[in-house]
Homo-oligomer: A and B are copies of this chain.
Amino acid sequence: MQDQQAVDYYMHEAIVEAKKAAAVDEVPIGAIVVDHGTIVARSFNHRELSQNALAHAEILAINAACQAKHSWRLSGMDLFVTLEPCLMCAGAIINSRLDSVYYGAFDPKAGAAFSVTDVFALRPLNHHPQVIGGIESDVCGQLLTDFFRKIRRQRQAGKRPH
Nearest Cβ on chain B to A149's Cβ, whole angstroms: 20
How far is A119 from B95 in the complex, measured between Cα atoms in Å?
Answer: 16
Binds B, one of A8-16, A64-72, A138-146, A154-162: A64-72
Nearest Cβ on chain B to A122's Cβ, whole angstroms: 6
Q: Which residues of B contact A66 (CB under 8 A)?
A: 51-54
Nearest Cβ on chain B to A117's Cβ, whole angstroms: 6
A23 at the interface (CB under 8 A from B): no
How far is A88 from B56 in the complex, measured between Cα atoms in Å?
Answer: 12
How far is A124 from B95 in the complex, measured between Cα atoms in Å?
Answer: 24
Main secondary structure of the interface of A (DSSP, over half): loop
Q: Do A116 and B110 touch across chains, with their CB atoms under 8 A apart?
A: no
- Cβ-defined partner of A72 (8 Å) among B51, B59, B91: B51
Q: Do B67 and A97 touch across chains, with their CB atoms under 8 A apart?
A: no
**Residue of B whose beta carbon sits closest to that of A108:** B124
23 contacts between A and B (CB under 8 A): A51-B72, A52-B72, A53-B72, A53-B97, A54-B54, A54-B62, A54-B66, A54-B92, A54-B95, A54-B96, A87-B112, A88-B88, A88-B90, A88-B94, A89-B91, A109-B124, A109-B125, A110-B125, A112-B119, A116-B124, A116-B125, A117-B117, A117-B119
